[in-house]
Structure formats: structure tokens, C-alpha cells
Structure 1
């Protein structure tokens, strides 16, 4: 056992980016990662989206690891550990959604185990180990999550039934954002984000903005400058439009 002073320099960020298709999850994650590292060669994308991250190869010489089905928690874990051994500094997992609802993911494994509530005792530990691997990673980790639009049927003022948009929901197990240091939701196709969870204190009560490399630099500055939050807050957070 040992007592020592806490320092942000030991922190490894866990950042979530969620949004609907076309809202800029991959692009935003790459710019954020570059701001943190200032070195494209130290960034790797674990790509479950048919290599779509390579569409942004013009940004810099980042690395890509294609992850195909089955999207089991263990396959994700093996990919993370491989990237750590390759001395990467930032791992982008794009996206974690198949780990939950893809072929070979948790919902699929649960169905194959019998599909009953009690069968979750076989599957939940696998998902928990996936989370634990991210939390204990030696790298900074950015995860992207798909969001889907939810709808409700309700009566309008004329008493007629109509379909109304109810908001969006992350397509992964409930509570994912609580595992993150920082969680951003992309809210439109112009790539604007809002912080839905912020343990850094840097983005609370801030207007919606567009993530760019300055956002990552601000986080790196926050990690490197100890307790002087006031100084960090003077740094730009991204493009506010």
C-alpha cells in the first residue's frame, strides 16, 4: 500500500461520441485524437464500419484496424490489447454499437444462450470485461456510438393520432456515458455537439460547438497543467460557429 498525491498526468481520458449516421462521429473523433497527441501515427481506429475511417486518410497517417463480425466483447478486447502493444497513444473504437447489438454481440449471444432473463448472468460479465478493458487501458480511448431516432404515437390538438419524434437513444447498453470521463452528443449534420457528461469541468454550460483539434489540445492542456482550471478555461474549445 502507498499514499501519493493525485495528479492529472496519470489520467487516461475515456471520451464518448454519439450521434446518428452522418453526424460526424468518425471525423470528430479523429480531430479530437490529433489534438490530444499531435501525432497521427500514434492514433489507431478500430473500425467496425467497413473501413469507412479510411475515407479520412487525407487528414494524416493514422492507423486502422478493421474489426469484422463476430462482434463479441472478447474480439473488441483482443483488438484493444493489440493496439496497446503496438504503442498507440489514442485508440478510437468506431463504433461500440456492434458489441451490443451486432452479429456476435451481447444481444445475439443472449439470444443464442436461450433468450431468458436469467441467461444474462452468462452475458453481462462479458460486457463488463469489455468496459473494464477500456477503463484500464494504457491509452486514451475515444468510443463512438450510433444513435437512433425514437418515436411515439400521441394525439394532436384535434384528437387525431400522429407520430412524433421523441428524441434519440444510444444504441448500446443503457448507462454507457456514465463509464466515460466526457461524453459528447452530436446533434446535427453540421457536426455540432453538446456535452452530456463532463468530469473535466471544461465544457459545462458551454454553447454547442464543433469539435476540432483545438478541443483535443484543450483536454491535453488540462491533463498537463495540474489544478489550474482557470488557465485551462481560457483555451479554445473548438469552432462555435
Structure 2
């Protein structure tokens, strides 16, 4: 609800905010597509939890869908699961850095009739934190514990009141720059829209993008301006060229 804007003077940097009042996972995909089109190098989703259990979030979508299946909530996940998965794919395929926050709570379960504390759990689909390159949890005392990291510098690390720029962003960016291959999705988008594209060239392009795990890259359709994934854009153009021939 625009709370991030309250920190602008504390951080000494400028950034844009997009307050949202409903949390349909498809709306987040639209926001990501618009941000990609505008060339934002970094997107922060604060927080992802409402897209799970907020107004029109995944759980709401399942509740609404169950009426199609005779009130069977389990069957409602036929609609809810694809929405959730497509949202995650859009986050993972964004052409820039993505930082996501989630609320957390203590996960209590009954063991032999007694409540057992299983630690903190993110308020989102179980296990979602492991989709990201780095995942950490912060306690009430502002101690940050890394629970998963592809970057060796963070594995098993606990930071007390960390400085985000110095302790997290810099070592992570340094590690990425050492071995990460720079990918510019505009090259693929231009190839998909090229006047001289052929069904065969588009099939090769699709395979290249698929190998880079970038099929779900969100963007705005070059003609309609509506959100679409890179993979769907390539398939749409290929189908149109085949029909034309």
C-alpha cells in the first residue's frame, strides 16, 4: 500500500512505487511486464504474501473456482495452481534483479498430541523461498539467517542488523559478475518480431530461449500492448507465419 515510499528520504535514492489494492497473481504478471517494458533494472515486490492469501490472491482464486467443481475446494486448485506457477515463472524470468519480501510466522505442528515448533515459515506456498537464488529469514531482533544461497559467501551465514548494500548486495553482485552471462531479452524480442523471421528461425529462437530458462520472461505485446510471455510471443508469431504461408 505504498509503504515503501516512506523510506525514500532515509535511503537517499529515488524509486517508483506501484501501490496495489488487489492481489490477483495475474496482476503481478502485468506489473512485471510493464516494468520490463520500461527497462527497470530492479523490481522489489513488498510483499509477495498478499498474492497468496490477500484479496483475489491464489487462495481466493481457488475459493472462487470451487463453484465450477460442485463446491470441491481441492478441485479448485486446477485453476489456482497454474495461476500461482505462472506468477512464479514471471518473477524468475524477469530481465533484471528481483527482490521479494514475504511475511513469516512460527510453524506449529502436533507431534504425539503435543505442539512442536518447526521454525519460521513464509506466508506463501510452502517451499517458495527455494525458488530464489538467495533466501534468508529475519527475526524480531533484525538478525538475518540465510537458509538457501547459490552464492557461497552467504551459505550458513548469520548477520546481525545487516547493512543491505554492503553486506548483501555488493558480495552478491560481485559473485554474479564473476561468472554470470549477461542476457539482454530485447535481442530475443526483436528476433521474434523481425520482418524476415521464418517458422524455422522462430523454432530455433524458441529453443534458445527455452535453454536459457527465459520462456516466461514478461513483456508487453509489440502490437497490442497487452502482457504476454516471451515464449508465447514467439509461438504466436510462428503460428501466424505458418498460417500465412
TM-score range, shorter chain: 0.5 to 0.7
**Secondary structure of residue in 1 paired with 2:179:** coil
Task: Find runs of 4+ consecutive structure 1 residues off by over 6 angstroms.
Answer: 161-164
Pick 1 or 2: higher relative contact order, CA cutoff 8 A, min separation 6: 1
Number of equivalences: 171
1:13-63 CA-partner distances (Å, limit 9, x unpaired): xxxxxxxxxxxxxxxxxxxxxxxxxxxxxxxxxxxxx21111101112111
Q: Say what the alpha-carbon RMSD is for the aligned residues.
A: 2.2
Structure 2, unaligned stretches of length 5 or more? 67-71, 181-245
After TM superposition, give the deviation of residue 137 of structure 1 in Å: 0.8
Distance 1:203 1:120, change over 3 A: same
Query: Are 1:92 and 2:44 an aligned pair?
Result: yes
Query: Are 1:117 and 2:69 an aligned pair?
Result: no
**Cα distance in 1 between the residues matched to 2:157 and 2:105:** 25
Query: Are 1:103 and 2:55 an aligned pair?
Result: yes
Distance 1:97 1:207, change over 3 A: closer
Greater shift in the superposed pair: 212-221 or 137-146: 212-221
State the TM-score, normalized to the length of structure 2: 0.64
Contact 2:24 2:58 in 1 (8 A): yes
**Secondary structure of residue in 1 paired with 2:18:** strand
1:143 alignment partner in structure 2: 100
1:190-209 CA-partner distances (Å, limit 9, x unpaired): x2201100111111133334
State the TM-score, normalized to the length of structure 1: 0.65
Higher strand share: 1
Query: Are 1:64 and 2:21 an aligned pair?
Result: no
Out of 153, 177, 180, the position equivalent to 1:224 is: 177
After TM superposition, give the deviation of residue 154 of structure 1 in Å: 8.6
